[in-house]
Structure 1
Amino acid sequence: MRFGVNYTPSRGWFHHWLDFAPDDIRADLDSLAVLGLDHIRVFPLWPLFQPNRSLIRPRALDQLGLLVDAAGERGLDVSVDGLQGHLSSFDFVPSWTTTWHRRNLFTDPDVVEAQAAYLRALAGALAGRPNFLGMTVGNEVNQFSAAPHPDPDRIDAGQAERWLRRMLDACEEGAPGRAHTHASYDVAWYDGTHPFTPAHSARLGTMTAVHSWVFNGTAQRHGPGGAATALHAAYLVELAKAWAVEPARPVWLQEVGAPAPHVPPGRAADFTRATLAHVLDCPDVWGVTWWCSHDVDRALADFPELEYGLGLFTNDRRLKPAGEAMCRVVREWQEGAAREPVAPRTTALVLDVGEPDGAPGRGVCAPGGAFFEAWMRVASGGGRPAVVLAQRARDADHLAARGITEVLVPQDTP
């Protein structure tokens, strides 16, 4: 079980790459040491690292290496996101893909080959470092492919899969054998028209990454103290397992945070403890990476209000109550490291989304959907429900491999 944090620099946010300051980075990483974490996830800004289609800046790669080395000196492994892409409501795409050079990010042959070269270069620059975990293709790059993005690069599910495979292959070419994955925001699980699908998330890459944000309708529907709000991350972990080919495929809770006002600051610590407790009761979780390390400096303009206060630390590196809560959970888990593995979830709810690869009916999985609400009723009543696709509900070998001994349809839940 791994515990980490998405590293948001306290000075300048991700614009810190423009004024790279190793001493500030080291001070940030020192502040994380008190939490007992073992990894961070970091975010190069794509336009700064590859400002021209044929130019990947060597100095930028060197600076990324310095950050990874500084983390290693503090006992922290590092996962690196490549195509940034989208961060905290801002898009960072290079000028050679926009306006006069407007080209589809997922299908234009020149763009795709340049993206692959960039990911290969990032991975290759870090491949020799023992604390380099691997690459994530990008942060929620799926948001560029459909509404509500104001200028989407439209594709279908087949094109999305071809693009993902090409990007993951490039990561593997640069750093063979590392943990390379990709990450979608939760529309991939909740919208049957979205081109990035649950099958893509659960079957491509080394592990499945899920991002849990309760401002997606969960907190609005169930309230900041509602059981479903604290259970949402665990729900996504279990939902992800339904599509996996390998029964024990690891799931990485790559992003989860306490966004105000959906989770008021006074409730953030309780939300953190409850969310982690539920997730740690799920089998096959690789790790949890909290969003995020440090608050965004309010001197920076135009962020959505909720983005400013998501850190476990303030931007002057003072530990916040949510950070204290995470620290306690991490220490309690580490002190019980000899514990038995998490028990299988023996009861599964049957999920029918139609044909599973495209999952046209996955809207039932969204907050307010029939399946979502049924799962939450069982879980909030003390149950430990897993999820099984309708096509596998009578597959004895699949059920046995996952430890499932009972299946229920949503209509049969209390």
Structure 2
Amino acid sequence: MRFGVNYTPSVGWFYHWLDFDLDDVRADLDSIAALGLDHVRVFPLWPVFQPNRALVRPKAVDQLLSMVDAAAERGLDVAVDGLQGHLSSFDFRPSWTLTWHRRNMFTDPEVVDGQAHYLRTLTEALRDRPNFLGMTLGNEVNQFSDKPHPDPDPVSAAGAESWLRRLLDVCAEADPRGFHSHCEYDAVWFQDGHPFTPAQAARIGAATAVHSWVFNGTAQQYGSNSVATVRHAEYQVELATGWARDPDRPVWLQEVGAPSPHIPVESAADFTGQTLDNALTCGNLWGVTWWCSHDVNRSLVDFPELEYGLGLLTSGRENKPAGLRVAETIQEWRARPTEPAVRGTALVLDVGDEDTAPNRSTCAPGGQFFDAWAALAQQGVRAAVVLASRAGDTPYLAARGITELVHPEDVR
């Protein structure tokens, strides 16, 4: 089991790449390692690293390598996201994809070639670092493909899959041993018609990445301390497991946090502890990477209010209650690892065609499937998820330890 954090620099946020200071990075990593965490996920800013389609700045790559080396000195492994992409409500795309050079980032051959060049360059530079875990293609880049983005780059489901496979192949060619993956925000699981699909998320790449945010309607509809809210991450991990062809495919809870005011500040530590305890009951969980390491400094403006206080530490590198709760959970788990829950009961999911999942909104907060899973959770059941197409597959069910199937319409 891996426990890590998404590294948000305490000085300058991700704009620190413009004025990179390794001493600040080292101090941040010291405060992260002190919590007992074992890895960080880091975010090069795409337009800073590749300002021209043919230019990946060597100095920027060297700065990334120095960050990875500093992490190694503190016992921290590093996962690297490539295409940034989208971070905390801000978009970062290079000028060669915008305005006068406006081109679709998923379908334009030259843009995709440029992305491949960028990812190959980073992966080849990183592959010999012993603490390099692998590449993620980019952070929630699916948000560029569809509503509610104000200027989307439309792509079909087939086009999205082609894009994912092309770029993951580039990473694998550059570093065959790497733990290379992709990640999407939860439209992939919950939004009908979204071109990035659950099948892609759960069947392409080394692991299935889950980003669990209860500001998606869960906390608003069910309450900040409800079972549906504190078990939301567990629900998404089990949903991801249900979509996988391989019953043992790892699921990476890659982002999860306690957003205020949806989770009151005074409840953040309790929510954090309950979320972790529930997620750790999932048998396929590879690890948890909390969002995020350090608060955004209030001297920076225009962030949504909830983004300022998501850190486990303040921007002054002081521990917050949620950070201390994470440290306690890690210490307890390492002293006495808990066995995953036996999930003998599975809720059957039918969203139509598996490739496009046209009715996946049933899985979203307020949907019939979500409500049925939450109702079972309220009754104390730790339910698995099984696709309707696998409900009659006896060897598959046996491999997952499932002995009882329940349909959403039968849950009271």
TM-score category (smaller protein): over 0.9
* Equivalent residue letter for 2:65: G
SS at match of 1:313: coil
Shift of 1:202: 0.1
Q: How does 1:246-325 map to 2 (within 5 A)?
A: 246-325=246-325
Which region of structure 1 is more displaced relative to structure 2, 342-351 or 40-49? 342-351
Work out which of the residue numbers 373, 376, 379 in structure 2 matches 1:375: 373
- Cα distance in 1 for partners of 2:379, 2:78 equals 38
C-alpha contact 2:341 2:382 (8 A) present in aligned 1: no
In structure 2, the gaps of 5 or more residues are none
SS at match of 1:52: coil
- Please name the residue that 1:130 is paired with: 130
* Equivalent residue letter for 1:46: W
2:107 matches 1:107: yes
Shift of 1:342: 1.6
Shift of 1:276: 0.3
- Cα distance in 2 for partners of 1:55, 1:380 equals 54
TM superposition score normalised by structure 1: 0.99
- Please name the residue that 2:228 is paired with: 228
2:318 matches 1:355: no
C-alpha contact 1:351 1:371 (8 A) present in aligned 2: yes
* Equivalent residue letter for 1:366: A
- Cα distance in 1 for partners of 2:149, 2:357 equals 21
Shift of 1:35: 1.1
- Cα distance in 2 for partners of 1:253, 1:381 equals 24
Shift of 1:268: 0.2
Deviations 1:297-330 (A, max 9, x none): 0100100000000000000001000001111000
* Equivalent residue letter for 2:410: D
SS at match of 2:288: strand
- Please name the residue that 2:148 is paired with: 148
* Equivalent residue letter for 1:28: D
SS at match of 2:225: coil
Shift of 1:172: 1.0
Residue-pair matches, total = 412
TM superposition score normalised by structure 2: 0.99
- Please name the residue that 2:245 is paired with: 245
* Equivalent residue letter for 2:283: P
Deviations 1:259-279 (A, max 9, x none): 000001100000000000100
- Please name the residue that 2:408 is paired with: 410
C-alpha contact 1:344 1:402 (8 A) present in aligned 2: no
Shift of 1:226: 1.1
- Cα distance in 1 for partners of 2:400, 2:324 equals 34
Shift of 1:189: 0.2
C-alpha contact 2:241 2:284 (8 A) present in aligned 1: no
SS at match of 1:183: coil
Q: How does 1:17-32 map to 2 (within 5 A)?
A: 17-32=17-32
C-alpha contact 1:257 1:290 (8 A) present in aligned 2: yes
Shift of 1:344: 3.5
In structure 1, the gaps of 5 or more residues are none
Structure 1 residue ranges (4+ consecutive) displaced by more than 6 angstroms after TM superposition = none
- Please name the residue that 1:36 is paired with: 36
Deviations 1:66-101 (A, max 9, x none): 000000000000000000000000000000000000
- Please name the residue that 1:65 is paired with: 65
Work out which of the residue numbers 380, 383, 386 in structure 2 matches 1:385: 383
Shift of 1:380: 2.0
- Cα distance in 2 for partners of 1:388, 1:94 equals 41
* Equivalent residue letter for 1:358: T
- Please name the residue that 1:216 is paired with: 216
- Cα distance in 1 for partners of 2:19, 2:171 equals 27
- Cα distance in 1 for partners of 2:296, 2:139 equals 18
2:192 matches 1:195: no
- Cα distance in 2 for partners of 1:164, 1:330 equals 33
- Cα distance in 2 for partners of 1:381, 1:54 equals 57
* Equivalent residue letter for 1:305: E
Which region of structure 1 is more displaced relative to structure 2, 29-38 or 254-263? 29-38
Shift of 1:56: 0.4
SS at match of 2:233: helix
- Cα distance in 1 for partners of 2:107, 2:12 equals 33
C-alpha contact 2:344 2:404 (8 A) present in aligned 1: yes
- Cα distance in 1 for partners of 2:108, 2:358 equals 26
SS at match of 1:181: coil
SS at match of 2:118: helix
The alignment's C-alpha RMSD in Å is: 0.7
* Equivalent residue letter for 2:353: E
C-alpha contact 1:348 1:385 (8 A) present in aligned 2: yes
Shift of 1:32: 1.1
SS at match of 1:182: coil
SS at match of 2:41: strand
Deviations 1:232-251 (A, max 9, x none): 10000000011101111000
C-alpha contact 2:82 2:119 (8 A) present in aligned 1: yes
* Equivalent residue letter for 1:7: Y
C-alpha contact 1:51 1:95 (8 A) present in aligned 2: yes
SS at match of 2:34: helix
- Cα distance in 1 for partners of 2:391, 2:22 equals 53
Shift of 1:225: 1.0
C-alpha contact 1:122 1:174 (8 A) present in aligned 2: no
C-alpha contact 2:5 2:291 (8 A) present in aligned 1: yes
* Equivalent residue letter for 1:91: D
SS at match of 2:405: strand
C-alpha contact 2:257 2:290 (8 A) present in aligned 1: yes
